[in-house]
């Protein structure tokens, strides 16, 4: 029995290495001088120069991109949680005809599977027409829409677990529907809000294609900044590595701090 | 359902407005930012849009944009590449994900740690994953070629050689999304009934025959659903390829999202690009509704 378990752990460790090594490799590159990277030196003296130049507001837009990403990801997450939770509550606990729920959920599942490029062209024309291109509001709306199917789906799973008797009891005590939502439903689905919120934040933070089309210098986010490195004639690889490593900070922190919630979120509704 | 409806009917009128206010924002967001764009795409696709003095000039061309899709060699290449990409990447992801899930399910200690590590790639920005692998694959200083040189094997131009590029991009996608299959399959494994395994153990079934005759049949629905949905989602790929190859060399890694992007934005052919986007919309809609119907029938 013992050697079998050893073999299993060895295989899993190898897989973990395959996952972690590329990440470690780019982190190392972020601390290398360009010359050390280009000559393939495996042993090198670490330098903070790449981070310093990426974060220096006089030579790079990165700190502004970072702030933009924080603002857009936070605002779009707040918006999509509010919209998604209200809708999940409405569909589960209010007397809407069945076809309303079916068509809304069917459409949202389809939209979730659609490559964003299919609607991105139309968004570009619409946002330009409405003056929403290159604005925070436009990007917040776009990101919230992209995340709405996932949040709606997850919140439906959590709202379903709220016992109907509890809501009925609150109503008999004279609470209005609005109060039932704010005082009973929201506190009970807090883990769901946390799970959906973390994933919505991360996916908004990571979003590239739609932001590329709807933003310019003032509103560009972190992924756009990294994408720009690939467009240069001579790529500043170590700068790109430093920018990329900084871009992963929120995801890594959230993963270490809330992995249970993330697993719950990613698998919610998947096993029905 | 009936009692709920009756109760709702006896509630005061303010309730109706609250019902609308609760569902309204989601309906509005979907209507304005998902339905309206599709309508706009239909309008665009029937026209040729040219720019003159900052104004768009629409000229009606009927279905000519759709007819032109059939003769677009780049579109044919990207459709072919996308299909190869989706099927090969997702097949590998399923096999690796299932293997890792089975192994993780067999250990007690370290299960949480493995899960955290394996989850990392899902949460990284696609563009960062592109940056990571651009460094790994680099012809001159990538670790893969350094390692191959150390073993006495000729270094390869992983992203620049047409015969290798698509495979290299598939490998990156496998690295990115195997964790997702892994998580879903591990959750599926953990949800299987214990007593069947006890029965199999009492009958003296070995590890392989337990897997072959108990786990696999029980897990088959989860496997099928995960495969189909991952394959459809693989059509979304853009970010990594944008950074790694930009669709090249030639059309070796050109995928659907890239072709639409090129036609609609780079070449500024909004009408033709819209027709292409709509064709992809219809393709995904057919695949997705077929998959959803099959999944529902199976669940019943």
What is the share, in percent, of chain A residues with pLDDT greater than 90? 70
Identify whether the C-beta of residue A250 lies closer than 8 Å to the C-beta of residue B118: no
Residues of A in contact with B281 (CB under 8 A): 114, 118
Of A87, A178, A266, the CB nearest to B18: A178
Residues of A in contact with B43 (CB under 8 A): none
State the pLDDT at residue B10.
47
Identify whether the C-beta of residue B274 lies closer than 8 Å to the C-beta of residue B39: no
Cis peptide before B5 (omega within 30 of 0): no
Which chain A residue has the Cα nearest residue B232?
Answer: A113
Please state the rounded mean pLDDT for residues A6-13.
Answer: 93
Which chain B residue has the Cα nearest residue A117?
Answer: B257
CB pair distance less than 8 Å for A16 and B132: no
Strands B55-60 and B47-52 come out as antiparallel
The secondary structure element, H or E, covering residue B51 is: strand B47-52
Q: How many residues does chain B have?
A: 300
Q: Is B219 helix (H, G, I), strand (E, B) or coil?
A: helix
A60-100 confidence digits (pLDDT tens): 899 999 999 999 999 999 999 999 999 999 998 887 888 99
Q: Output A271 or B161, whichever has higher pLDDT.
A: B161
CB pair distance less than 8 Å for A117 and B26: no
Burial class (CB in 10 A: 0-12, 13-18, 19+), A201: buried
What is the share, in percent, of chain A residues with pLDDT greater than 70? 98
State the pLDDT at residue A44.
86
Burial class (CB in 10 A: 0-12, 13-18, 19+), A56: exposed
Residues of A in contact with B45 (CB under 8 A): none
d(CA A29, CA A38): 10
CB pair distance less than 8 Å for B184 and A122: no
DSSP B173: H
State the pLDDT at residue A96.
86
State the pLDDT at residue A71.
98
State the pLDDT at residue A179.
87
Please give the mean pLDDT across all residues of chain A.
91
Within the 147-176 window of chain A, which residues sit less than 8 Å (CB to CB) from chain B? 148, 152, 176
State the pLDDT at residue A271.
44
Which candidate in B30, B149, B230, B292 is best for mutational testing of the A interface (most A CBs within 10 A)? Answer: B30
Counting one residue from chain A and one from chain B, the pairs whose CB atoms sit within 8 A come to 288
d(CA B18, CA A178): 7
Question: Is residue A6 less than 8 Å (CB to CB) from chain B?
Answer: no
A100-119 confidence digits (pLDDT tens): 999 999 999 999 999 999 99
Within A31-113, residue ranges assigned H as helices are 34-38, 49-55, 62-93, 98-113
Low-confidence ranges of chain B (pLDDT < 50): 1-3, 5-10
Within the 108-147 window of chain A, which residues sit less than 8 Å (CB to CB) from chain B? 108-111, 113-126, 141-142, 144-145
Which chain B residue has the Cα nearest residue A106?
Answer: B289
Q: Which two tokens stand for residue B95?
A: 């096999």
State the pLDDT at residue A38.
87
Of B25, B222, B261, the CB nearest to A117: B261
Question: Is residue A29 less than 8 Å (CB to CB) from chain B?
Answer: yes
State the pLDDT at residue A67.
96
State the pLDDT at residue B52.
78
Residues of B in contact with A111 (CB under 8 A): 30, 34
State the pLDDT at residue A42.
81
The secondary structure element, H or E, covering residue B199 is: helix B194-202
State the pLDDT at residue B83.
96
CB pair distance less than 8 Å for A87 and B22: yes
- pTM (predicted TM-score): 0.92
- Shortest Cα–Cα distance, A262 to chain B (Å): 9
User: Does the pLDDT value for residue A124 go beyond 70?
Assistant: yes
pLDDT tier at A164, thresholds 50, 70, 90: confident
d(CA B21, CA B34): 20
State the pLDDT at residue A272.
39
Of B4, B238, B273, the CB nearest to A121: B273
- Shortest Cα–Cα distance, B173 to chain A (Å): 12
CB atoms within 10 A of CB B252: 21
CB pair distance less than 8 Å for A116 and B236: yes
d(CA A62, CA A43): 28
């Amino acid at each position: 029995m013992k050697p079998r378990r050893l073999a299993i752990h060895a295989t899993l460790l190898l897989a973990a290495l395959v996952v972690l090594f590329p990440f470690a490799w780019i982190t190392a590159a972020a601390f290398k001088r360009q010359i050390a990277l280009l000559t393939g030196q495996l042993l090198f003296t670490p330098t903070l120069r790449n981070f310093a130049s990426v974060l220096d507001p006089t030579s790079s837009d990165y700190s502004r991109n970072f702030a933009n990403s924080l603002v857009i990801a936070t605002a779009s997450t707040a918006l999509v949680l509010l919209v998604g939770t209200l809708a999940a509550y409405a569909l589960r606990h209010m007397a809407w005809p069945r076809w309303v729920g079916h068509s809304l959920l069917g459409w949202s599942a389809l939209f979730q599977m659609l490559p964003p490029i299919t609607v991105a062209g139309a968004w570009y024309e619409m946002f330009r027409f409405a003056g929403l291109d290159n604005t925070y509001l436009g990007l917040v709306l776009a990101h919230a829409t992209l995340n709405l199917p996932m949040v709606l789906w997850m919140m439906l799973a959590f709202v379903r677990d709220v016992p109907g008797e509890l809501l009925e009891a609150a109503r008999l005590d004279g609470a209005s529907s609005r109060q039932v939502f704010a005082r009973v439903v929201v506190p009970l689905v807090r883990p769901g809000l946390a799970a959906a919120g973390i994933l919505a934040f991360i996916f908004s933070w990571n979003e590239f294609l739609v932001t590329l089309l709807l933003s310019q210098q003032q509103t560009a986010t972190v992924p756009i900044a990294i994408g720009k490195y690939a467009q240069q004639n001579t790529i500043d690889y170590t700068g790109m590595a430093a920018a990329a490593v900084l871009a992963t900070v929120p995801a890594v922190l959230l993963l270490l701090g809330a992995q249970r919630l993330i697993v719950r979120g990613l698998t919610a509704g998947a096993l029905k | 359902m009936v009692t709920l409806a009756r109760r709702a009917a006896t509630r005061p009128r303010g309730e109706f407005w609250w019902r609308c206010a609760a569902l309204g924002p989601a309906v509005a967001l979907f209507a304005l930012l998902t339905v309206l764009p599709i309508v706009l795409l239909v309008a665009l696709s029937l026209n040729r849009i040219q720019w003159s003095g900052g104004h768009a000039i629409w000229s009606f061309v009927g279905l000519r944009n759709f007819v032109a899709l059939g003769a677009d060699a780049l579109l044919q290449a990207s459709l072919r590449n996308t299909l190869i990409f989706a099927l090969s990447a997702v097949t590998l992801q399923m096999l690796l994900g299932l293997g890792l899930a089975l192994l993780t399910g067999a250990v007690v200690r370290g299960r949480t740690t493995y899960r955290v590590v394996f989850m990392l790639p899902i949460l990284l920005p696609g563009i960062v994953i592109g940056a990571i692998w651009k460094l790994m694959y680099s012809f001159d200083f990538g670790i893969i070629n350094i390692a191959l040189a150390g073993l006495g094997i000729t270094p390869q131009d992983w992203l620049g050689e047409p015969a290798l590029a698509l495979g290299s991009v598939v490998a990156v996608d496998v690295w990115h999304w195997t964790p997702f299959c892994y998580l879903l399959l591990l959750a599926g494994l953990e949800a299987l009934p214990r007593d069947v395994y006890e029965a199999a153990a009492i009958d003296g079934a070995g590890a392989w025959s337990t897997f072959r005759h108990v786990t696999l049949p029980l897990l088959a629905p989860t496997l099928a659903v995960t495969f189909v949905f991952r394959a459809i989602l693989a059509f979304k790929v853009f970010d990594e390829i944008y950074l790694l190859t930009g669709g090249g060399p030639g059309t070796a890694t050109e995928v659907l999202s890239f072709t639409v992007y090129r036609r609609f934005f780079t070449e500024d052919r909004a009408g033709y690009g819209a027709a292409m986007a709509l064709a992809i919309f219809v393709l995904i809609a057919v695949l997705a509704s077929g998959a959803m119907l099959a999944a529902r029938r199976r669940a019943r």
